Amino acid sequence: MPPTTRIDGAAAPAAPGSTASLRVANQQRVLGVLRQITHEDDPVTQADLARRTGLAPATVSGIVRELDAARMVTTEPGRGRRGTTVRIARSAGLVAGVDFGHSHLSVAVADLTGTVLAEVRRPLHPGHDHRDGLALARQLLDGVLAEHTHAGEHLRAVGLGLPAPITDGVVRSSAILPGWVGIDAAAAAGEAFGAPVHTENDANLGALAEHRRGVARGTASSVFVKISSGVGAGIVLEDRIFRGSGGTAGEVGHLTLDEQGPVCRCGSRGCLEAYASIPTIQQMMAGQLPDATLDDVVAAARGGNVAALRSFEDAGLHLGWGVASVVNLLNPDLVVIGGELARAGDLLLDSVRLGLRRHALDAVAATPVLASTLGERASLVGAAILAAEQVELLPG
C-alpha cells in the first residue's frame, strides 16, 4: 500500500506497550491537534487542548512549556476569562507546495498547519522538460522564501502536484505533461529543492485541500472531480486520500459511457473525458465560435447563446452520469466540482445535478454537488497541506 496522509500528522508510532514512550506520544498528540488549527480558526487554549487530546490539564501545560522552549509553539496570554492560547510556530518549520498544471506552475510557502503564507503563479509550456520545470519552480520558491520568511524559519518539506497518475513517486503515462513521463519525480524534485518531496496526483491534492480547508471540511468522505484538459478525481475516505492498490484510484475520466463512442487515447471507447472537458466544449462550439477560449464560451452562454448553453448542459449531464457511478459505488458525503471548467459555475453544475439524479440510485441521488471554493488554487493548497502533514514534528 502506498502511504496515506493522516490528519493528525503523527510521526512513527511509539514503541507499543512501553511506558517510556508515553511522553513523546503525548507531545505528538498535542502537536497533532495544533496542526489542525489553521489561521482561519480561533486559537485554542490549554484547556481546549486538554479536552481535545484527553490529557490532563497539568500534562498539557507541561508539554506546552517544553514546546514553547523548543520554539515549536507560540503562546499568547489570555484576555478576560479566556486562558493562554497556543499556536504552532512558524519557527517549527515551513513547507512549500508546488503545483504543475497543464500550462502553469504555482509555488506556495506555508506553515506547518498548511496555511499558505505567500504564493506565485507562472504560465508554463505543456511540452517543457521536467528539469526546466523544476529549475523554474526552485527559482520561484527561492524568491518567495527570500521575500516572506525570517531568520530561523526553515523549509522542512515540499509537496509536489502533477496532473498524472503517480506510483511510488514515478510519473506514469500522461498525455498532459509528456516531459515528465517515466520520471522519478520525487527524486528529481528532492534534488532540485534540497528537501524531502512528497509527490501526488493533482486531483488527489485538490480533494485533500477541499476536505481540510474548503467546501468539504467537516465531512468524512468526499470526491473532488477536476475538469480541465482532462477529467480526474481525488477521493477522500475517512479523512485520508484514498489511492488504491497501485496509486491510480479516481480515474473517473475513463468510465465508459458509450461502448460505441470515440476511441480514446486510453484504449477504450466513449470515455467520460470525450464528453466533458475544455477541449470538448471548444470542439462543440468550433463551428460557431472558432478558436474560442473557455472564458469566451462562458461569456457567450451568459449572454444567452443557446449553443454555448447547450455545450455546458451536455457536458454537465455526462459529468452527472460519471458522478452517479461514483456515488453509487462510494456513497460519499459530498462531491466537489473543480478544475478550470468549474468556472462555468451553475451553467455546468445544474446539469451535473440533473445527470446525477437520472443515473444514481434514489438513496444517493441527492448527494450534494458543490463548486470548489478553493478554485484553481485547490491543488496548490493541497500540495502545501500534504507537505505540512508529512513533516515529523518530533523524533518518534
For its own copies, the closer of residues 253 and 382 by Cβ is 253
Contact status: 259 vs its own copies (CB under 8 A): yes
Stretch that binds its own copies, among 112-120, 233-241, 369-377, 379-387 (CB under 8 A): 233-241
- Sequence-distant (≥ 6) Cβ neighbours of residue 23 within 8 angstroms: none
Contact status: 326 vs its own copies (CB under 8 A): yes
Contact status: 328 vs its own copies (CB under 8 A): yes
Contact status: 363 vs its own copies (CB under 8 A): yes
For the CB of residue 208, give the shortest distance to its own copies in the complex, in Å. 17
Contact status: 59 vs its own copies (CB under 8 A): yes
389 close to 114: Cβ distance less than 8 angstroms? yes
For the chain, give the secondary structure using H, E and C.
CCCCCCCCCCCCCCCCCCCCCHHHHHHHHHHHHHCCCCCCCCCEEHHHHHHHHCCCHHHHHHHHHHHHHCCCEEEECCCCCCCCEEEECHHHCEEEEEEECCCEEEEEEEECCCCEEEEEEEECCCCCCHHHHHHHHHHHHHHHHHHHCCCCCCEEEEEEEECCCEECCEECCCCCCHHHCCCEHHHHHHHHHCCCEEEEEHHHHHHHHHHHHCCCCCCCCEEEEEECCCEEEEEEECCEECCCCCCCCCCHHHCECCCCCCECCCCCECEHHHCCCHHHHHHHCCCCCCCCCHHHHHHHHHCCCHHHHHHHHHHHHHHHHHHHHHHHHHCCCEEEEECHHHHHCHHHHHHHHHHHHHHCCHHHCCCCEEECCCHHHHHHHHHHHHHHHHCCCCCC
Which residues 343-362 are close enough to bind its own copies by CB under 8 A? 358-362
What does the per-residue mask of binding to its own copies show for 367-386, with x meaning CB under 8 A? x-------------------
Stretch that binds its own copies, among 21-29, 97-105, 295-303, 372-380 (CB under 8 A): 21-29
For its own copies, the closer of residues 114 and 332 by Cβ is 332
Contact status: 15 vs its own copies (CB under 8 A): yes
Other C-beta atoms within 10 Å of 266: how many? 14
Which residues 162-221 are close enough to bind its own copies by CB under 8 A? 165, 172-173, 219-221
For its own copies, the closer of residues 271 and 285 by Cβ is 271
Contact status: 22 vs its own copies (CB under 8 A): yes
For its own copies, the closer of residues 15 and 70 by Cβ is 15
* Nearest alpha carbon to residue 236 among 352, 332, 161: 332
Stretch that binds its own copies, among 124-132, 177-185, 308-316, 363-371 (CB under 8 A): 363-371
* Nearest alpha carbon to residue 293 among 306, 304, 308: 308
At 127, the amino acid letter reads G
Contact status: 329 vs its own copies (CB under 8 A): yes
For its own copies, the closer of residues 89 and 255 by Cβ is 255
Contact status: 333 vs its own copies (CB under 8 A): yes
Answer for which of 117, 136, 364, 370 binds its own copies (CB under 8 A) is: 364
Contact status: 309 vs its own copies (CB under 8 A): no
* Nearest alpha carbon to residue 224 among 386, 344, 369, 377: 369
Contact status: 276 vs its own copies (CB under 8 A): no
For the CB of residue 298, give the shortest distance to its own copies in the complex, in Å. 26
For its own copies, the closer of residues 104 and 172 by Cβ is 172
How far is 109 from 362, CA to CA, in rounded Å?
Answer: 44
Contact status: 394 vs its own copies (CB under 8 A): no
121 close to 106: Cβ distance less than 8 angstroms? yes
Contact status: 235 vs its own copies (CB under 8 A): yes
Answer for which of 248, 283, 288, 293 binds its own copies (CB under 8 A) is: 248
For the CB of residue 199, give the shortest distance to its own copies in the complex, in Å. 16
Contact status: 36 vs its own copies (CB under 8 A): no
Contact status: 262 vs its own copies (CB under 8 A): no
Total binding residues for its own copies by CB under 8 A? 61
Binding site for its own copies (CB under 8 A): 1, 15-17, 19, 22, 25-26, 29, 53-56, 59, 165, 172-173, 219-221, 233, 235, 237-238, 242-252, 254-257, 259, 266-268, 321, 324-326, 328-333, 358-364, 367
